[in-house]
Amino acid sequence: MEKVDLRKAGLDRLIAGPVLFAEPADRHTSMGVGGPIDALAFPESREELARLVAFLGQQRIPFLPVGNWTNLIVRGGGYRGVLISLSGLRRLTRSDNPDGTVLLEAEAGVALSELVNLSQREALTGIEFCAGIPGSVGGAVRMNAGAYGGEIKDVCNSIQSLTTDKGIRTLKRKDLPFAYRILDLPAEMIIIGAAFCLQRGKGEVVAATVRDFLSRRKDKHPLEFRNAGSIFKNPREIPAGQLIEQTGLKGMRLGDAQVSEKHGNFIVNRGQATAEEILTLLDLVQKRVFEATGQFLEPEVKIIGVP
């Protein structure tokens, strides 16, 4: 697709939030890389989002939703179309179920840390595994985020979705095809919110578990450098980081892109890395591991845009 100029499309008349044109992605991605986005829109409600998505669908303008930008790499050529930030969808409510469980209903832009903090305040258990995962609800549900034996699928009760043809719909847990690190829904379906079913617990136990998980992350993950979280999904047989380290790739560097010296399944930006350096290093790790072990490492990060 040729680069399009969306300045005359009237996007800023569809939503109250800002619309940024030719916006550098490196200002937003957790990795700190990425070229210019044709348009970056910030709807402030699900109604604005629905109006914007309907317009883009009618005009056949490519678009993608983005959350906390933490599991995303934008190529150096940027993105042709509209990226829609869901950060303005921040509603979070609690309700008590007759069976004694508690339902947390969160819009897509709510940070996972908010859910964890609320669970600590209210002595709710089930979502402690999200402690330290730097994402938001929409992205976490889409990728079935997980850690330390827990996954979003374990606590997700339902989601609310938006498509250009069917509008806003609620999908119950039984209709959600969760798999390892993915909720297998159509690419054009935007997750605008989710409900999580938690159990009542003991406040001191919930808090202790959260502290433990945060401590483990601090010890094992390279939080001192910009990164996009785990680069590869774990194969069934052995963790990706272990395969990478066994292949002797820990610490490998290309410019300012480096396989973390702390954890093999992280590629970090040591300062001025480019998207091309990071993706070239990712491809090289993938190739070397396959040659050495026969294991194909599937990227966990989402890669978008043009070279």
* Residues taking part in catalysis: 181, 230, 300
* Other CB atoms within 10 A of residue 184 CB: 10
The DSSP element (H or E) to which 92 belongs, if any, is: strand 92-96
Full DSSP string of 153-167: GGTEEEEEEEETTTE
- Residue 196 tokens, joined: 């999580």
131 Cβ contact partners less than 8 Å away, ≥ 6 residues apart: 113, 116, 209, 210, 213, 214, 217
Pairing of the two strands 267-269 and 226-227: antiparallel
* Other CB atoms within 10 A of residue 192 CB: 23
Q: How far is CA 86 from CA 25, 135, 158, 243, 274, in A?
A: 15, 12, 18, 35, 25
- Residue 303 tokens, joined: 């890669």
- Identify the sign of the CA torsion 25, 192, 70, 241: negative
Distance (Å, whole) CA 283 – CA 280? 5
Q: Find residue 194's DSSP bridge partners.
A: 106, 159
Task: Please state the φ and ψ torsions of residue 19, each to the nearest 5 degrees.
Answer: -125, 120
Q: Find residue 41's DSSP bridge partners.
A: 19, 84
Distance of CA 99 to the CA centre of its chain: 32
Pairing of the two strands 178-179 and 167-172: unpaired
